[in-house]
Amino acid sequence: MSLATTIQLIVLLPLGSFLLLGIFGRKYLSSLSGMIGTTSLLVSAILSIQTAYQYFFLNTAGSFEKIIAWKMTWLTFSEGVSIDMGILVDPISVMMLVVVTVVSLMVHVYSLGYMKGDERFATYYSFLSLFTFSMLGLVIAVNIFQIYMFWELVGVSSFLLIGYYFEKPSAVAASKKAFIVTRFADLGFLIGILILGFEAKTLDFVTLIERLTTSNSPYLVSATTASFLGASALTWGLLLVFMGGAGKSAMFPLHIWLPDAMEGPTPVSALIHAATMVVAGVFLVARLFPIFSISCPGALEVVMWTGVISALFAALIACTQTDIKRVLAYSTMSQIGYMMFALGVSGYGNEAGLGFTASMFHLFTHAFFKALLFLGAGAVIHYIHSNEMKDMGGLRKSMPITHITFLIACLAIAGIPPFAGFFSKEEILTAAHHANPMVYYIALLTAGITAFYMFRLYYNIFWSKEAKTAHHDDDHHGEGTWSMKIPLLILSVGAIAAGFIPFGSFVSSDGHPLHIPFEISAAILPVIIAVSGIALATLFYKTENDRPDKLSASFQGIYKTAYHKFYIDEIYLFITKKIVFNLIAQPSAWVDKNIIDGSMNGLASLVVWKSNLIKSIQSGKVQDYALYFFLAAFGITALTIYLVN
Amino acid sequence: MSEIPLEHLLMLSTALFFIGAYGFLTRRNMIAMLMSLELMLNSVNINFIVFNKYLFPDTIEGLGFTIFIIAIAAAEAAVAIAIIINLYRNTKNIDAENADHLKH
Q: Tell me whether B89 touches chain A (CB under 8 Å).
A: no
pLDDT per position as a tens digit, A388-412: 877 787 787 788 888 889 899 999 9
Q: Is the pLDDT of residue B104 over 70?
A: no
DSSP per residue, A77-117: EETTEEEEEEEEE-HHHHHHHHHHHHHHHHHHHHHHHHTTT
pLDDT at B38: 93
Q: Tell me whether A640 touches chain B (CB under 8 Å).
A: no
Q: Tell me whether A227 touches chain B (CB under 8 Å).
A: no
Cα separation, A274 vs A512, whole angstroms: 29
Closest CA to A444 of A559, A533, A363: A533
Share of chain B above pLDDT 70, in %: 95
pLDDT per position as a tens digit, A132-167: 999 999 999 998 989 999 999 999 999 999 988 888
Contacts of B21 in chain A (CB under 8 A): 630
CA A285 to chain centre: 13
Contacts of A623 in chain B (CB under 8 A): 24-25, 28, 33, 96
Mutation target for B interface from A617, A623, A628: give the one with most B CBs within 10 A. A623
Determine the average pLDDT of the residues in B55-80. Answer: 92
Whether the CB-CB separation of A187 and A206 falls below 8 Å is answered with no
Whether the CB-CB separation of A373 and A455 falls below 8 Å is answered with no
The DSSP secondary-structure symbol of A466 reads P
pTM of the model: 0.78
User: How many C-beta atoms lie closer than 10 Å to residue B85's C-beta?
Assistant: 11
Closest CA to A86 of A8, A191, A187, A18: A8
Mutation target for B interface from A622, A629, A631: give the one with most B CBs within 10 A. A622
Contacts of B99 in chain A (CB under 8 A): 621-622
Q: Tell me whether B21 touches chain A (CB under 8 Å).
A: yes
pLDDT at A469: 53
Domains of chain B: 6-92 (1.10.287.3510)
pLDDT at A473: 47
ipTM, interface predicted TM-score of the complex: 0.84
Of A618, A622, A630, the CB nearest to B99: A622
Bridge partners for A85 per DSSP:
A72
Distances (CA, A) of A509 to A86, A179, A352: 22, 32, 9
Of B24, B97, B103, the CB nearest to A618: B103
Nearest-Cα residue of chain A relative to residue B99: A621
Higher per-residue pLDDT: B85 or A508: B85
Give the dihedral of Cα atoms A314, A318, A323, A325; nearest 10 deg.
Answer: 60
Nearest-Cα residue of chain B relative to residue A630: B21
pLDDT per position as a tens digit, A46-75: 999 998 888 888 877 777 888 888 888 888
Cα separation, A498 vs A487, whole angstroms: 15
Positions of chain A with pLDDT lower than 70, given as ranges: 466-478
Nearest-Cα residue of chain B relative to residue A623: B25
For B35-75, what is the HEC assignment?
HHHHHHHHHHHHHHHHHHHHHCCCCCHHHHHHHHHHHHHHH
